[in-house]
Amino acid sequence: MDPGNLTRLSEFFLLGLSEDPELQIYVFGLFLSMYLITVLGNLLIILAVSSEPHLHTPMYFFLSNLSLVDICFTSTTVPKMLLNIQMQNKAISYEGCLTQMYFFMLFIGLDDFILTVMAYDRFVAICHPLHYTVILNPRLCRLLVLVCWVISHLHSLLQSLMFLRLSFCKDVVEIPHFFCDLKILIQLACSDTLLNDMLIYIFATLLWGGPMVGILYSYSKIISSIRRISSAQGKFKAFSTCASHLSVVSLFYITALGVYVSSAGAHSSHSNAIPSVMYTVVTPMLNPFIYSLRNQDLKGAVKRVFGRAADKD
């Protein structure tokens, strides 16, 4: 490619999930509903944990942080897509795309790290129950969350700075997605992307592989401890404290992995966008239901939040 033909483009076009105008109203209604459910469900988790003193424990502290991240994660992509459909305008500025990409990487990284911290919380609770409050004291809990934020910010910042070096052949580039996905944008660039590709694979190994290993290690120790419990009731009680977290972790990793497996052999322009809905929209929406339906303390706290709201009315 002739370097003289490369340009710093002014905007991108987000093609969305479908280019069929007749489907846009249904896509808008579906995603608006899922977005509102996601925000309301996760906000209820945060309110329930903050308003109930007996839920001020490490497990619920991490859960409330996960709910906050899920709200932010979904808010990074869905509102812009809804606005584009409503305004019948697919454009997003270069700066807007870069900002969306930055926060998308930030919050998906935070989701990954906080799920790993929650696995460590369950490991300590089951394998070292007598020292649980000593090991996971409030100071350490806040420090773990702070480290998650710092690492995620540094990763997003480095990837965004590396993206700035890329050039494109057109003034307007069409993105076959409903948000600015770094991997797709790199594929659309005309300049040399070797460093960007290397950076993606290195961070994928470190920031995805590392937490996954940590989660698997924690659960291997948890399973080993549960097997040593003599009574069936004790085993069930111990496992039930991990069931919600294990369900969320499985949903998150399976859907995210499915996106990259499908994109590897993708031929349709929208083949990567549709599976992405699972981990960017559906998973954050389901998390509150998974935790509240399987947790009597949290379910009771959510009901009390509703009760206090009804009394005020």
Encode pLDDT of 162-180 as tens digits. Answer: 999 888 887 778 888 889 9
Mind listing the domains of the chain with CATH numbers? 8-312 (1.20.1070.10)
Q: What is the pLDDT at residue 207?
A: 86
Max avg pLDDT among 5-9, 36-40, 88-92, 281-285: 36-40
Q: How far is residue 80's CA from residue 77's CA, in Å, rounded to a whole number?
A: 6
Residues in CB range of 91: below 8 A, 6 or more apart? 11, 12, 13, 14, 84, 172
Per residue in 148-162, pLDDT tens?
A: 999 999 999 999 999
In the beta sheet, which residues pair with residue 175? 14
Residue 56 above 80 pLDDT?
yes
Per residue in 90-148, pLDDT tens?
A: 889 989 999 999 999 999 999 999 999 999 999 999 999 899 999 999 999 999 999 99
Q: What is the pLDDT at residue 69?
A: 95
User: Which tokens hold the place of 283?
Assistant: 């998973």
Residue 279 above 90 pLDDT?
no
The region that residue 11 occupies, defined by phi over 0 for left and psi between -120 and 50 for alpha, beta otherwise, is beta
Residue 258 · residue 278 · CB < 8 Å: yes
Q: Is the dihedral of CA 11, 151, 248, 142 positive or negative?
A: negative
The whole-model pTM stands at: 0.89
In the beta sheet, which residues pair with residue 93? 11
Q: 1: pLDDT confidence band, cut at 50, 70 and 90?
A: very low
Q: How far is residue 98's CA from residue 295's CA, in Å, rounded to a whole number?
A: 39
Q: What is the pLDDT at residue 2?
A: 47
Q: How far is residue 105's CA from residue 156's CA, in Å, rounded to a whole number?
A: 6
Residue 253 above 90 pLDDT?
no
Q: Which residue has the higher pLDDT, 268 or 80?
A: 80
Mean pLDDT of the chain: 85
Q: How far is residue 297's CA from residue 12's CA, in Å, rounded to a whole number?
A: 47
Q: How far is residue 254's CA from residue 116's CA, in Å, rounded to a whole number?
A: 15
Pick the range with the lowest mean pLDDT from 22-26, 37-41, 127-131, 269-273.
269-273
Q: Which residue has the higher pLDDT, 286 or 257?
A: 286
Residue 257 above 60 pLDDT?
yes
Residue 71 above 90 pLDDT?
yes
Helix (H, G, I), strand (E, B) or coil at 284: helix
DSSP conformation letters of 108-171: HHHHHHHHHHHHHHHHHHHHSGGGHHHHT-HHHHHHHHHHHHHHHHHHHHHHHHHHHT--BSSS
Q: 312: pLDDT confidence band, cut at 50, 70 and 90?
A: low
Per residue in 3-18, pLDDT tens?
A: 444 455 668 888 888 7
- Cα–Cα distances in angstroms (integers) from residue 176 to residues 92, 138, 248, 273, in the given order: 13, 44, 28, 7
Going through the chain in order, the beta strands assigned E by DSSP cover 11-14, 91-93, 172-175
Overall average pLDDT of the 204-214 stretch? 89
Residue 159 · residue 254 · CB < 8 Å: no
